[in-house]
Structure 1
């Protein structure tokens, strides 16, 4: 069966984990507090701060310093908290727009995305990073604007957790494509397992030097470069 969609993970798959956890996290960390204080009128910011207060047991209207302390703790623990992703995404988007950030993608990524797109295969992203940060990430790469190649974006807000089968069922429905015609590329075996359980085709990405380099991918096909992906 021909693949009609390829859905991409980001960290460890299209881009190095360090470029996110070191580069982007370091950029966002000192800017979260000033961003919150400078955008109190933004409904998304208000809701994100309220979520932090609820999830951390802070009083409503807590001081920004206390909210930021929680956010920093989540960053240190790599907690996939929705309000953190929302606020980070806004800070990063501003950084990309200002020319202060450039996204990293592995050398084989841009040529593969362009090749797949040119042959009619549609491309989407499913990442724990907020959609608001995915778009500028692919728009501002060292290999040019790759965002024009991507038709859909999914995160843990509009799709659900990445290790739950139901999330992949929602995405397939949104794409209007049966799971057997969707290929998911990820470096995380548990995500691939969830996608496979939803009927998707899967391929593990084992990048040298990445956290999942030594992971066991079970029965999933495995590649070290997008050049090896069979569509």
Structure 2
């Protein structure tokens, strides 16, 4: 266990043995942990304790974990969410991403990999990036503050959506393939699949509204950001 506390992680899992296993590995890595077993308890704990991240089981006794995520995002709460579930269908993974989840792990899983993914999500959220402002058309990204606006109106993005947008904005006019974007934004998540990129791009366009036009689709290749 490290001497530094990396913050509080909320684990929402109704299988106690799994929850305790996840807690053990997170604590070894320097995190504090609260465990909840229902969606309602999870929502109350997020509002009360402000965790740095959620590990959220999809199947809970009182509601789907996807509904917990939907409610949080509806409250403009962008705490990083990592779904944990036995489901491995693409439609389930994409549903989680469309709701604003930052990552997705299927059971059985490696506890060490799970912790690594939590840390990766938090690195994206913390924004260890160069201090500068990027502008393309009506879209402005304040990189050090991790804020995005369209025509001076703020836009709320998840950590992954922000990294995807700024990666493209750093390369105006350059076409980035889906594989390039997976490697740059998701890193170790080579299993995420190129459809993951398409889902996040669709979410970005929806949130950018009048600024959505800066993201151009290059059919069969990938995406670029242009005036």
TM-score (norm 1): 0.31
Query: So what's the TM-score if we normalise by structure 2?
Result: 0.31
